[in-house]
Amino acid sequence: PIFLLLGSLAENQISNKGAKALARSLLVNRSLMVLDLRSNSIGPTGAKALADALKKNQILLSLK
């Protein structure tokens, strides 16, 4: 069986600082496959940190 581990951080007021912390976590992620970040306050620097981390993350399959 395939197990999809889901994570929802939608509507949690995540800012650039939180996005950078999340990006660091994504670099060592071994189980999270679906992540929902809708309706947060992630700005350009947080988005860049996430994008850079996602280039290296091979586990996450879906990001909203």
Average pLDDT of span 32-55: 96
Residues 18, 48, 41, 60, CA torsion sign: negative
- Once rounded to an integer, what is the mean pLDDT over residues 21-36? 93
Report whether pLDDT(4) > 70.
no
- Rg for the chain (alpha carbons), in Å? 11
pTM: 0.85
Q: How many CA atoms lie within 13 A of 56 on its CB side?
A: 11
Q: Is the pLDDT of residue 41 over 70?
A: yes
Each domain of the chain, given as residue ranges in start order, spans 6-63
